[in-house]
Amino acid sequence: MRDLLAALDALRERLTEIPQADERRLQQLRTELLGRKAGALTEILKALPTIDAETRKTVGAAANALKRDLEAAIAAREGALKRGAAQPGEGVDLTMPARPEWRGGLHLVTQVVDEICGIFRELGFTRAVGPEAETERNNFYALNFPKDHPALDAQDSFYLGGDVVLRTHTSPVQIRTLEAYPPPVRVVIPGRCYRRDPFDASHSPVFEQIEGLAVDEGISFVDLKATLATFARRIFSRETRVRFRPSYFPFTEPSAEMDVECQLCHGGGCPACKGTGWMEILGSGMVHPRVLVNGGVDPERYTGFAWGMGPHRIALLRYGVPDIRLFYEGDMRFLTQFGPGGQADA
Ligand code: 2NL
């Protein structure tokens, strides 16, 4: 009886062959396992009469259960083959190359920041950085902001407690630079800045700024215009026209805003430039003598110019990005258009 039960167990193992069988193999298995003449199960059943009545019951029940299971498995496989279901591993092309790994890439704004700093590097400017948490003195007073300027209000800036504020521009790094190095000084300062602004299509409370500063003997407004016009023609195109309009900043006098010809309509007037043919890209001016003094520089001997701009805005104008929130959302469908991504880059 033990032999018969062992034989039944061995037969039961073969159930696993059924779901993988193709049509021909399934026919073979049906004959081999359940065939009336020489099927394995039939052979076992044939031996039943030779054993005693008590064990015959046990073995018989086990044999019948196995028969049902084999029949059910064969019927199920038959159905599956009829429906054209794939076998495990079937339909998988094992020679297909693996998907490439996702490669990281630089964010569009980072690429633009690097490109801008690269242009100024060729014009003799060093890249400098400084802390994002600043004193009120470095962020405002040293830059000639009056005590009652609205930017000093907690409504407009993020205060970390006491007189420490998240810098609202990168200008404090320029103050630090003037204090640390005697002129001549030529620096570009990219970095993250913070203002209490809404988060909408054209504002973000966190943004990137690039400021620049040149201080030396004999620097004039001509140097400012030539440097910034050269920059505009490098970052946009050689033929790009620029214009300067008078403006006001507490830390420069005189001050000017620089426009470039609209990169979409090239001066004709379109919705992007509100019909003017021009787009504002930066603010600039001659460093106010009081700011030079605050930075430890003698304004009788030295003059300088400075400017500030938003790389988001430059990227937006160059690539026609409709909403700055796209720069912050990390949506791969947007980001991979400007550099390596994952499968899209394969
Ligand atoms: C803008 C205008 C500007 C500066 C930034 C500056 C810094 C020092 C002294 C003088 Cl330490 N000026 N920076 C000057 C003019 C304009 O930014 O529209 N930024 C987005």
Q: Which residues contact 104 (CB under 8 A, 6 or more apart)?
A: 340
CB-CB contact of 187 with 125 (8 Å): yes
pLDDT of residue 80: 84
Which residue puts its alpha carbon closest to atom 19 of ligand 1? 308
**What number of CA atoms fall less than 13 Å from residue 12's CA on the CB side?**
13
- Ligand 1 center to 222 CA (angstroms): 17
Ramachandran area for residue 99 (φ above 0: left; ψ -120 to 50: alpha; else beta)? beta
pLDDT of residue 200: 86
Here the tokens at position 90 are 């079937």
Here the tokens at position 86 are 């794939």
CA distance 243 to 264: 17
CB-CB contact of 327 with 109 (8 Å): yes
Q: Whole-model pTM?
A: 0.71
Alpha-carbon distances, residue 185 vs 178, 219, 304 (angstroms): 8, 11, 9
Q: Is the dihedral of CA 326, 197, 282, 231 positive or negative?
A: negative
Which residue puts its alpha carbon closest to atom 7 of ligand 1? 171
- Ligand 1 center to 225 CA (angstroms): 15
Residues with CB under 6 A from ligand 1: 143, 171, 174-175, 209, 211, 213, 249, 251-252, 282-285, 287, 291, 306-310
Of 249, 255, 292, the one to substitute when testing ligand 1's pocket (max ligand atoms within 8 A of C-beta) is 249
Which residue puts its alpha carbon closest to atom 18 of ligand 1? 283
pLDDT of residue 147: 83
Q: Which atom of ligand 1 is nearest to the CA of 257?
A: 18
pLDDT of residue 85: 60
Nearest to 167 by CA among 197, 138, 201, 203: 138
- Ligand 1 center to 168 CA (angstroms): 11
Residues in the chain predicted with pLDDT less than 50, given as ranges, are: 342-346
pLDDT of residue 298: 97
Alpha-carbon distances, residue 223 vs 88, 124, 142, 324 (angstroms): 73, 13, 24, 32
Q: Is the dihedral of CA 234, 240, 243, 247 positive or negative?
A: negative
pLDDT of residue 309: 96
pLDDT tens figures, 107-157: 999 999 999 999 999 999 999 999 999 999 999 999 998 888 888 787 888
pLDDT of residue 345: 42
- Ligand 1 center to 251 CA (angstroms): 7
CA distance 18 to 29: 8
pLDDT of residue 196: 92
